[in-house]
Amino acid sequence: MLSDFPLLSALIWLPILGGGALLWLGEERPDAARVTALLTSLITFLISLPLFTGFERGTAAMQFVELRPWIESFNVNYHLGIDGISMPLILLTTFITVLVVIAGWDVIKTRVSQYFAAFLIMEGLMNGVFAALDAMLFYVFWEAMLIPMFIIIGVWGGPRRVYATVKFFLYTFFGSVFMLVSLIYLYMQTGSYEILDFQSQSLGLQPQIWIFLAFLFAFAVKVPMWPVHTWLPDAHVEAPTGGSVILAAIMLKMGGYGFLRFSLPITPDASRELDWLIIAASLIAVVYIGLVALVQQDMKKLIAYSSIAHMGFVTLGFFIVFAVYARTGALEGAALGMQGGMVQMLSHGLISGALFLCVGVLYDRMHSRRIDDYGGVANTMPKFAAFMVLFALANAGLPGTSGFVGEFLVILGSFQANPWFAFLAATTLVLGAAYTLWLVKRVLYGEVANEDVAALDDLNRREFLMLGILAFFVVLLGVWPAPLLDVMGPTLDQLLQQISISKLVP
Amino acid sequence: MEFQIPVLAPAAAEITLLALTCLVLLVDAFVSQARRDITYALTLVTLVCTAWVAAFMTGNGTQITFAGHFVNDPMARVLKLVVLATAGMVFLYSRDYLERENIYRGEFFVLALFATLGMMVMISAHSLLTVYLGLELLSLSLYALVAFNRDSGNSAEAAMKYFVLGAIASGCLLYGMSILYGAAGTLDLATLSARVADGETLSDLWVLVGLAFMLVGIAFKFGAVPFHMWLPDVYQGTPTPVTLFVGTAPKIAAFAMAIRLLVDGLGSVGDAWQSMLLVLAVASMALGNIVAIAQTNIKRMLAYSTISHVGFILMGILAGTDAGYQAAMYYTIAYVIMATAAFGMVILLSRRGFEADNLDDFKGLNRRSPWFAGMMLIVMFSMAGVPPFLGFYAKIAVIAAAVEANLTWLAVLAVVLSVIGAFYYLRIVKLMYFDDPGDEPAVEGPSVLKLALSFNGLLILALGLFPNGLIAVCQHVFG
């Protein structure tokens, strides 16, 4: 009976309807709005748990499938389903949204209903992106997501919010339209918009390369990869805390998800031909952006650049598979990089979200993000300092935290591809440690810098709760990643099988 | 030759509209200013009756009557209903504005009804003569409508520009038709099509010259670059209800004219007009989207936005396939729905003696009225082609048609230009949501306008969530 319940649809539409209800409620009763938002996000999180418990391990087939015609004239279906790649990302989305609602609880004072409505609508759309198995449906969710984010940054953001949000919107919109043309081209070839049909469609090398580049542009902007990353620091810095968290924790993951769902399986030959492009850009991101992060004066900017560097690991992990396969002839080694990339995505979702929440905690008290304005915070906020140190170390890849697992797997995989890749990638262990620990040192330790810092209050119960939950999962994933790897395993194996077979028309 | 009474049933809708419009004209002459609502009500009744007749009384399939001059086919039935519905929305939006500005006169309704009749004749045209007849009825009514606020210098200037340029365009169209008539010896579009395809009776050169001149007329009616000059001035200069009317329904008629003349009449020289339309489409999309960025007046901005949308419509037509015509028709209808809502918002924000036609008048709308800010947000994102709104699917349909016709480069160019275009739509959203209202007052408008506008905005959202119905209608027409 339970299996007939359209769980994925509920995960998409419940938050959207909740958001609509909040808009209807208006701005007169902010407390009612807060409670409605929290309840909606909690219920959504709870009904997303059966995805994990009811997930059939050991198969790469799509599960929880819903299929009904949507736009018959274009042969577009409302087709939802999840596999080992998308299921963890949906759980991450529903989980992070609850935290975002808690984080905005009494910080947001203006237009409360609209604020929470935007986040709830975002949540539904993001679940839709991860659950869609029809390319047009995917694209609709993918693009629609820009609207609430545009509003979130623009209305509740910092002083340069208008510049940042317009840049964010146009950048990502520009990236995706090429994907749209590719999807339509693929539709002309296969006669349907099913992503699984796209994956089994054979294509010549030339079209594959064009399609690959179009996808690359869309996903690279979203990840973001060097050199199309410049929107991210602006957007992050100007966005309200909740917006930064959603951006870093989930929206960036969509680029990585896109590579796994579209680029690699649909255009495997072009991916093989052009893997050097991605590997080079990823390594530049890891090294160069790591250096850039080192010199930032603004805490949010520093974490934003650190995000770009960490996402470089993800793309590196996904695209070294060809080099590994060419060198060793075995798929097992290649799987390491891919698993590492996936774990890294989830772990970064938790850690970067946590770090942005930490900055938010400080910003709410001091209204400054400049590192120079702080110093000795640990003296007045010991509980907060403990959390921040934990997340900073996780960000630097400390063993025992989730940050370590992903980075280690990717470095291990890239060693099999080319020791130099591994060497360059491993510099992040130095650079990442340098910029995060230096940040911690300047903000948390030393003498109390000024009167404002001396007057700080430590975490209240709400903040303690949200950071505590995150800390729990960061450590859990670090010491016991096995459940996650079990879930992803079959799907990634099947993906590797798919991309090891050429699709070229004989 | 013996005179035969033609079969009138296929033209029942036009006959109804004409008869009732004459009645409105007659009644209005005896109605005092205080009781002008009688005219208003009668006008709405006229539209409803005509729509009813058009929907249920004109038979099925394709019927040709009036000795081959008039056709009633599925396309005509659909487009006529859209035109009538649009005209109805225009009247609902306009009434209070007109009364407030002391231009609540019968002429507005009668002229608009005659223009509607002209559009219906164009839509049902099956010969060169009928196309011209409908076009002139439409154009002359519109010239008068634009000039209709007699005390306004801007109106007079706009009307003058429109009239002079429109007369030249009509002249070109008529000249092209006369060449084709001379070469082919027929006015009937089906016969013309057969003779052009046959190719023995007439030289290619004359067909091409005639085609080129006719295309000028079509491009002018659409407002495609380089025949777009009148559009921004006319949009800006006229009272907003008239802009609303000029900017919406006639695009349907222009689309019908393009299909009748180019596809039905000259389909066999498709290569020739496709390459001409290609130039018009690219130029329109590029110029419309780029110049719109520089506008500070929302009516001018919407004029340039119209030009860019026209580029998309032409892109569908020039694909030269049924899928392309479907897409173009779908796009045209989508455009009309969106433009109606956009101009409706301008009417809503205007107050006595004050036109809310500056972009700044939208400042802080979210604080003043969250509901209507939301409606405008839907309209703007829909025009920019962002899902899940109607405009997105229209763009998809056109782009898919272009890709199918091996014009992938054009599709890529179109999407790039639409990203550029997204900027100025975003600016409106920015003004509404991110800026402070300053001393702009709260939004107050008559409830009819508010209801109609809400319906219009929600329609854009609903057709975005469930796009299949409208697409299926367009597919049924061509296919």
Q: Which two tokens stand for residue A483?
A: 């459940």
pLDDT higher than 90, residue A479 = no
CB-based contacts of B17: which residues, under 8 Å, 6+ apart?
B46, B50, B113, B116, B117, B120
Helices within A259-330 (DSSP H only) = 264-266, 268-273, 275-284, 290-294, 299-319, 321-328
Contact across the interface for A173 and B419, Cβ inside 8 Å: yes
Distance of alpha carbon A222 from alpha carbon A245, whole angstroms = 15
Task: Name the closest residue on chain A to residue B382, using Cα atoms.
Answer: A144
CB-based contacts of B37: which residues, under 8 Å, 6+ apart?
none
Mean pLDDT over the full length of chain A: 88
pTM score, whole prediction: 0.93
pLDDT higher than 70, residue B202 = no
Mark out chain A residues that contact chain B at CB-CB < 8 A: 23, 26-27, 70-74, 111, 114, 136, 139-140, 143-144, 146-147, 150-151, 154-155, 161-162, 165-166, 169-170, 173-174, 177-178, 180-181, 184-185, 187-188
Which pLDDT value is given to residue B43? 95
pLDDT higher than 80, residue A281 = yes
Q: Which two tokens stand for residue A102?
A: 């808690």
Residue A236 carries which side chain, given as an amino acid letter? H
Label residues A72-92 b or e (16+ Cβ within 10 Å = b).
ebbbbbbbbbbbbbbbbbbbb
Q: Minimal Cα–Cα distance from B376 to chain A, Å? A: 13
Q: Which of A123-132, B20-29, B355-364, B379-388 has the lowest mean pLDDT?
A: B355-364
Q: Which of A126-140, B73-87, B345-359, B424-438 has the lowest mean pLDDT?
A: B345-359
Contact across the interface for A181 and B416, Cβ inside 8 Å: no
Which pLDDT value is given to residue A379? 85
Task: Provide the 10 A C-beta neighbour count for residue A6.
Answer: 13
Which of A142, A130, A135, A126 lies closest to A64, judged by CA? Answer: A130
Name the pLDDT band for B201 (thresholds 50, 70, 90). low
Write out the H or E segment, with its range, that includes residue A221: helix A205-222
What is the DSSP-derived secondary structure letter of residue B35? G
Which of A131, A167, A175, A137 lies closest to A149, judged by CA? Answer: A167
Read off the pLDDT of residues B91-110 as tens digits, 9 standing for 90 and up.
999 998 888 888 888 889 99
Nearest to B399 among A73, A155, A184 (CB): A184
Contact across the interface for B415 and A177, Cβ inside 8 Å: yes
Contact across the interface for B426 and A150, Cβ inside 8 Å: yes
Which pLDDT value is given to residue B444? 81
Q: Which two tokens stand for residue B251?
A: 């695009």
ipTM: 0.91
CB-based contacts of A329: which residues, under 8 Å, 6+ apart?
none
Residue B357 near residue B364 (C-beta atoms within 8 A): no
Q: Which two tokens stand for residue A491?
A: 């799907």
Q: Minimal Cα–Cα distance from A111 to chain B, Å? A: 9
Distance of alpha carbon A107 from alpha carbon A241, whole angstroms = 10
Read off the pLDDT of residues A174-226 as tens digits, 9 standing for 90 and up.
989 999 999 999 998 888 899 888 888 888 888 899 999 999 999 999 988 88
Chain B residues near residue A173 by CB distance under 8 angstroms: 386, 419, 422
Distance of alpha carbon B309 from alpha carbon B289, whole angstroms = 9
Name the pLDDT band for B355 (thresholds 50, 70, 90). confident
Quickly list DSSP for B179-204. HHHHHHS--BHHHHHHHHHH-SSS-H
Name the pLDDT band for B378 (thresholds 50, 70, 90). very high
Nearest to B419 among A151, A177, A185 (CB): A177
- Residue pairs spanning A and B at CB distance below 8 A: 93
pLDDT higher than 90, residue A430 = no
Q: Minimal Cα–Cα distance from B237 to chain A, Å? A: 31
pLDDT higher than 70, residue B1 = no
Mean pLDDT of A126-143: 93
Which pLDDT value is given to residue A62? 86
Write out the H or E segment, with its range, that includes residue B157: helix B153-184
Q: Measured in whole angstroms, how far is the alpha carbon of residue A426 from the centre of its chain?
A: 22
Q: Which own/partner pairs from A449-456 qualify as long-range (CB within 8 Å, at least 24 positions apart)? A: A449/A373, A449/A374, A449/A375, A449/A376, A450/A373, A450/A375, A452/A366, A452/A373, A453/A366, A453/A374, A453/A375, A453/A376, A453/A377, A453/A380, A454/A380, A455/A380, A456/A365, A456/A366, A456/A377, A456/A380, A456/A381
Which of A69, A71, A51, A56 lies closest to A8, judged by CA? Answer: A51
Contact across the interface for B393 and A71, Cβ inside 8 Å: yes
CB-based contacts of B466: which residues, under 8 Å, 6+ apart?
none
Name the pLDDT band for B172 (thresholds 50, 70, 90). very high
Which residue of A125, A147, A188, A210 is the best one to mutate when testing the B interface, meaning the one whose CB has the most B CBs within 10 A?
Answer: A147
Q: Minimal Cα–Cα distance from A405 to chain B, Å? A: 38
Name the pLDDT band for A101 (thresholds 50, 70, 90). very high
Mean pLDDT of B289-304: 92
Mean pLDDT of A346-359: 91
Which pLDDT value is given to residue A1? 38
User: How many contiguous H segments (helices) and E segments (strands) does chain A have?
Assistant: 26, 2
Nearest to B400 among A151, A155, A184 (CB): A184
More confident residue, B354 or A358: A358
Quickly list DSSP for B422-448. HHHHHHHHHHHHHS--TTPPPP---HH
Integer-rounded Cα radius of gyration of chain B: 22
pLDDT higher than 70, residue A78 = yes
Contact across the interface for A23 and B467, Cβ inside 8 Å: no
Distance of alpha carbon A177 from alpha carbon A214, whole angstroms = 9
Chain B residues near residue A72 by CB distance under 8 angstroms: 468, 472
Contact across the interface for A170 and B386, Cβ inside 8 Å: no
Contact across the interface for B388 and A155, Cβ inside 8 Å: no
Name the pLDDT band for B200 (thresholds 50, 70, 90). low
